[in-house]
Amino acid sequence: MDLTPNDDQIAFQTATADWCRDNMPLEQSRARPTGLWAEVEAMGWTAMTGAELGLDHATEALVFAELGRVLAPVALLSTAVAGRWTGVAGKVALALEAGSGVRLLDSEGATHALGLIDGAIGWFAIDDAVEAVDSLDLSSSIARIDRPAGVERIEDPRAAFHLQLLAAAFAVGCADAARDMAADYARVREQFQRPIGWFQAIKHMCADMAVRSAVARSQLYFAACALDEGDVELPFHVAAAKRLAEQSALENGGDNIQVHGGIGMTDEAYPHLCLKRAHLLKFVAPVEDAVLLAN
Amino acid sequence: MEISFSSEENHFREECRQWLEANVPSERRPHDAADAIDFDKAWQRRLFDAGWAGINWPTEYGGRGLSIVQQVIWLEEYAKAHAPWIGANFVGNNHGGPTLILNASDEQKAYHLPRILKGEAIWCQGFSEPGAGSDLAGIKTMGRVEDDEIVVNGSKIWTSFAHVADWQELVLRTEEGSQRQRGLSWAICDMHAPGITIRPIRKISGQTEFAQVFYDDVRIPIANVVGGLGNGWKIAMSTLSFERGTGFIAEQVKHGQRIEELIELARANGMIKDDRIAGSLAQMRAEVAAVRAMTYRNISEVVRLGQPGPEASVIRLFSAELGQRLERMGVLLRGGDILDFRYESGDEAVGDYLRGFAATIAGGSAQIQRDIIGERLLGLPKSR
């Protein structure tokens, strides 16, 4: 038993964070440069757990938390799952069930989409003429299509847990980003001749953000190991990780806006980007109470 | 990272399980501290004789010298087996003893540690005062140094098990006129010494587990000071950081048992059909799992780095508040039956609920913990 990253894992984590800082900062998330996806694919993050590299999900979860922190493109989730469990190469859009149809997220340049359809995880080809518009999450486009006819199901049950785990990792990163943004602002913004972080009303709100982040990250590590080790309680642990991560992303997202005050209400500032991403992630491999209560 | 235990650790777990299955007493721990003391001492002695006391304490002082991971395994199996709360032995095992291991002289360790493990010596804590709660550096209890003795005058409060204790970890001011953290000492006080008066205080749950202690010219040999005169703050902080780090593993482990009992109860009485109740139970089950993950992370850091990381204060806070929500759910699921609670009734669900309010007050209130997290983890400016 060891729930601290080893030296190799820390190296992957640090390398990801460094690359993101230089090439894919959160501040650019609503208008990523064209050609970014090709660079991202070249970094190998969507192929980490595939047959060729064969890395563990624990390392992958650490890396995806770093990617989530900069609100990296959401198709990384679907593409990484496709890379591990299907033969599909290239960008794979994220598919979310929407009543009688399907929403495709981040579909530019994608040939296929992957998601949970009718309670099972599967993938299908998409028409490149599909028209995408802006979505609530300003980092991702959205396209509404009819329910696809030819969905290929992925038989291995681990694929759905993989998607849920990566979505949890993204949410953990998103919650961390909101926490850090709030704490950074509370250290420098002054009112009543003091940094607002001096006041316990603000300090304790930031502390609660740190608690949520730490809780969610801990369960993420446990769930990633459960997937690697084929733990008998795998469905529960991944669901718990996803539930806690999406909640921490949502609540930290809201609190970050509150700590920023008026500036947090502006389109120009960044806090709303985390909140909006959190709402999107809630719909990726959503968690049912029944799974959390199952024996 | 991995969550599997080694085969040696799994073997150890099996040993724990088998012994507990055969030895956990069938009678319940008595309700009141005065009656419970014999029970607590006897149980501690039984644990010691079978080699289950001080699992990660040094062997030369009666411990087993095993790893902190094995200590966690023991506590997990202990909770699963519904073994009794260690009660009056809590302070010796979880504060006093660990502080001595870290800071005391060989003589002090050789005398006290085996007595704690054997259940022969009950310890209590003497930190808080009527005027120094969260503001611990406001301590006023004074120890005048006279030759090789300290003469103590003042008062301590919220001292759990004071009236059954043999020894106290006492933090007092030994330099006249010193301010705040300076001039404090950490001493081992004999609770049977002349000049000590104990006024038991009844809790909201009915037990008289804690007390106010008065010191009237109480004489403590200077040889009982741990870590040298004037170093009390540093020594006290080593206890508190321990408490915030690994001292509450037993509490964190216990939540795992509690949530399963609550789900079972809600299924049995049908209340689980209420979506709000099912939702809250599902939520808390996820949170209990996360507390285990955090505890494992914390333990892994202790193994890797020799001490708990800064996130230890996060676990302490989150686990304490989760425990309170679990107990509140326990009471909610009982419906109107809780109204039949009397101090003498021994109704554990209500008793645990009421006693549980202490979890966010004792050992650093939730508000102080949030200050620590904001300041040490997030680098926000110090409020005090």
For residue A226, what are its two tokens?
Answer: 């459960």
- Pick the residue from chain A with its C-alpha nearest to B70: A1
Shared domain check, B203 and B188: yes
Going from the C-alpha of B272 to that of each of A3, A151, B278, B285, B287, the distances in angstroms are: 33, 36, 5, 14, 18
Beta bridge partners of residue B187, listed in sequence order:
B170, B225
Mean pLDDT of the region B130-138: 93
Mean pLDDT (whole number) for B294-307: 88
Residue located via tokens 């390392």: A59
pLDDT at res. B249: 83
Residue B241 lies in a domain: no
Span A95-128, pLDDT tens digits: 999 999 999 999 999 999 999 999 899 999 998 7
* Residue A254 in this model has a pLDDT that exceeds 70: yes
The domain boundary, picked from B231, B259, B281, lies at B231
Q: Count of residues for chain B?
A: 384
Torsion angle of the four alpha carbons B302, B304, B305, B311, in this order, in degrees rounded to the nearest 10: -50
Query: Are B293 and A222 within 8 A, CB to CB?
Result: yes
Task: Note the pLDDT tens digit of each residue in A65-102.
Answer: 999 999 999 999 999 999 999 989 899 999 999 999 99
CA distance B143 to A220: 50
On whether residue B100 sits in a domain, the answer given is yes
Q: A-chain residues within 8 Å CB-CB of B4?
A: 1, 225, 229
Pick from B133, B216, B205, B124: nearest CA to B163:
B124
Upper half-sphere CA count for residue A184 (Cβ side, 13 Å) = 9
Q: Determine the pLDDT at residue B304.
A: 87
Distance CA B91, CA B254 (A): 18
Over residues B18-39, the pLDDT tens digits come to 999 999 998 888 876 677 899 9
Q: Provide the chain B residues 73-112 that lie in CB contact (below 8 A) with chain A.
A: none
The answer to whether residue A197 scores a pLDDT higher than 90 is: yes
Buried b (16+ CB within 10 A) or exposed e, B261-299: ebbebbeeeebbeeeebbebbbbbbbbbbbbbbbbbbbb
By annotation, the residues of B acting in catalysis are 243
Last residue in a domain, options B85, B117, B149: B117
pLDDT of res. B312? 80
Assess whether pLDDT exceeds 90 at residue A26.
yes
B306 touches chain A (CB under 8 A): no
Set of chain B residues whose Cβ sits within 8 Å of the Cβ of A244: 286-287, 290
User: Could you tell me if B66 and B136 lie in one domain?
Assistant: no
pLDDT tens for each residue of A198-230: 999 999 999 999 999 999 999 999 999 999 999
pLDDT at B243 over 70: no
Q: How confident is the model at residue B338 (pLDDT cuts 50, 70, 90)?
A: very high
Q: Is B172 helix (H, G, I), strand (E, B) or coil?
A: strand
Mean pLDDT along residues B239-264: 81
Same domain, B252 and B372: yes
**β-strand pairing of A112-117 with A92-98:** parallel
Residue B384 has pLDDT above 80, yes or no: no
Residues of A with Cβ-Cβ distance to B75 under 8 angstroms? none
Q: Give the pLDDT of residue A82.
A: 97
Q: Do B300 and A289 touch (CB under 8 A)?
A: no
- Amino acid A130: pLDDT: 85
Q: What is the mean pLDDT of residues B140-151?
A: 97
Mean pLDDT of A49-55: 91
Residue B292, domain CATH: 1.20.140.10
Rounded CA gap, A117 and A78, in Å?
A: 13
What pairs with residue A97 in β-bridges? A102
Chain B residue numbers with beta carbons less than 8 Å from the beta carbon of A2 are 1-2, 300, 303-304
Give this complex's ipTM: 0.97
Test B383 with A199 for CB contact under 8 angstroms: yes
Query: Confidence class of residue B244 from pLDDT cuts 50, 70 and 90?
Result: low
Nearest CA in chain B to A211: B314
CA distance B190 to B187: 10
Q: How far is it, in rounded angstroms, from Cα A143 to Cα A130?
A: 7
Same domain, B171 and B198: yes
- Tell me what pLDDT residue B246 has: 64
- Domain residues for the domain of B110 are 7-117
Domain count along chain B: 3
- What pLDDT digit, counting tens, does each position of B210-225 carry? 999 999 999 999 999 9
* C-alpha closest to that of A64 among A23, A20, A108: A20
User: What percentage of chain B has pLDDT greater than the value 70?
Assistant: 97
- Domain shared by B254 and B186, yes or no: no
User: How would you classify residue A278: left for phi > 0, otherwise alpha for psi between -120 and 50, otherwise beta?
Assistant: alpha
**How confident is the prediction for chain B on average, in pLDDT?**
93
Name the nearest CA neighbour of A95 among A81, A86, A83, A84: A81
- According to CATH, the topology of domain A158-293 is Butyryl-CoA Dehydrogenase, subunit A; domain 3 (1.20.140)
pLDDT bucket at A32, cuts 50 / 70 / 90: very high
B90 and B137 housed in the same domain: no
CA A187 to CA B374: how far, in whole Å?
Answer: 11
**Higher model confidence: residue B384 or residue B272?**
B272
For residue range B35-91, list pLDDT tens digits in order: 789 999 999 999 999 999 999 999 999 999 999 899 999 999 999 999 999 999 999
Sequence-ordered list of residues with C-beta below 8 angstroms from that of A26, at least 6 positions apart, any chain: A69, A70, A71, A177, A270, A273
Contacts of B272 in chain A (CB under 8 A): 293
pLDDT tens digit string along B360-370?
Answer: 999 889 999 99
CA B187 → CA A240, B169, B352, distances in Å?
46, 6, 32
Lowest mean pLDDT among A197-201, B102-106, B149-153, B297-301: B297-301
Instruction: Answer yes or no: is B237 within a domain.
Output: no
Quote the pLDDT of residue A95. Answer: 98
Asked if residue B100 and residue B13 are part of one domain, the reply reads yes
For CA atoms A277, A63, B244, B139, the dihedral sign is negative
Q: What is the pLDDT of residues A13-23, one digit of tens each?
A: 999 999 999 99
Contact predicate A266/A126, CB 8 Å: no
Instruction: List, in sequence order, every beta strand (DSSP E) within chain A.
Output: 92-98, 101-105, 112-117, 120-125, 133-134, 141-146, 152-153, 190-191, 194-195
Which B-chain residues 120-149 have CB contacts (< 8 A) with chain A?
none
Alpha-carbon gap, residue A94 to B333, rounded angstroms: 41
Q: How many residues does chain A have?
A: 295
Judged against a pLDDT cut of 90, whether residue B309 lies above it is answered with no
Confidence band (pLDDT; 50, 70, 90) for B308? confident
Q: Do B78 and B144 belong to one domain?
A: no
Average pLDDT over chain A, rounded to an integer: 96
Let me know whether B49 and B165 are in one domain: no
Check if B261 contacts A (Cβ < 8 Å).
Answer: no
Please identify, among B75, B91, B117, the residue that sits at the C-terminal boundary of a domain.
B117
Instruction: Please tell me the predicted confidence (pLDDT) of residue B24.
Output: 96
User: Å from B268 to nearest chain A CA?
Assistant: 14
In chain A, where does the domain assigned CATH 1.20.140.10 lie?
158-293
Residue recorded with tokens 């469905």: A235
How far apart, in whole angstroms, are the C-alpha atoms of residue B117 and residue B246?
18
CATH of the domain at B87: 1.10.540.10
Residue B372's contacts (CB-CB under 8 Å, 6 or more residues apart) are B313, B364
* B47 and B113 fall within a common domain: yes
Least confident of A13-17, B258-262, B342-346: B342-346
Query: How many angstroms separate the first and last alpha carbons of chain B?
Result: 39
Chain A residue with the nearest C-alpha to that of B281: A293
pLDDT in tens, A128-165: 778 899 999 999 999 999 999 899 999 999 999 999 99
pLDDT at position B245 over 60: no
